[in-house]
Every structure is written in C-alpha cells, then in structure tokens.
Amino acid sequence: MAWIVLVVSGCLEAVWATALGKSQGFSRPWPTAVFAVALFASMAGLAYALRTVPVGTGYAVWVAIGASLTAAYAMVAGEEAVTPLRVLLLLGLVGCVIGLKLTSH
C-alpha cells in the first residue's frame, strides 16, 4: 500500500509543479488553488509512504516520478522541446525508479 501511495504522491508532485508554473507567481487563483491542494496531498502521501519505505529510496522515487511527469507534460503541451535525447533521458530516469523499487527491501 505504501508504494501505491508513493506513486500517487509522485504524480501529485507533477500536478503541483505544473500548477505552480501556471499560477504566474500565485497571481492566478485557480492554478494557485490546484497547487495548494496538490502540494498538501503530495506531501501527506509522501509522509505516509515513508513510514514503511526507506527515506532515501522513497524520496528518490517521489522526486523522479514528479520530475519525469512534469517534463513529459511540458513536452506534450508544447512548452518544452521534444528531442530524442530528452526522451531517452526521461526513460532512463523512469528505469532508475523501477530499479530502486526492485532493489528495495
């Protein structure tokens, strides 16, 4: 259960990071509200998961999921360039997350 919560929390990290960018310095109410709710839920889920998952592994997985989904969203939305190297590096990041999960106790 902790791993499922950790993955969902990592996805919510991507939500709050994207909303933070769209809030334009907290000047837009809806992205700011999405940021606040997603941030709280993401942190609460991370805290819950770290009761069971080792902190180093859990934090690395959480950050990697959030970072890779945030970058992928920006590429799909046309906000960042899509290049073969960027896609390869994001796939490598995802592969590392899977490896951390497979090697955790």
> Of all residues in the chain, what percent carry a pLDDT higher than 70?
99
> pLDDT tens for residues 48-66?
999 999 999 999 999 999 9
- Average pLDDT taken over every residue of the chain: 95
How many domains in the chain?
1
Query: What's the confidence (pLDDT) of residue 22?
Result: 96
> Of all residues in the chain, what percent carry a pLDDT higher than 90?
89
Burial class from Cβ neighbours inside 10 Å (0-12, 13-18, 19+) for residue 69 reads: buried
Given a contact cutoff of 8 angstroms between Cβ atoms, the answer to whether 37 and 83 are in contact is no
Q: Is the pLDDT of residue 89 over 80?
A: yes
Determine the structural domain holding residue 83 and report its residue range.
2-103
pTM of the model: 0.89
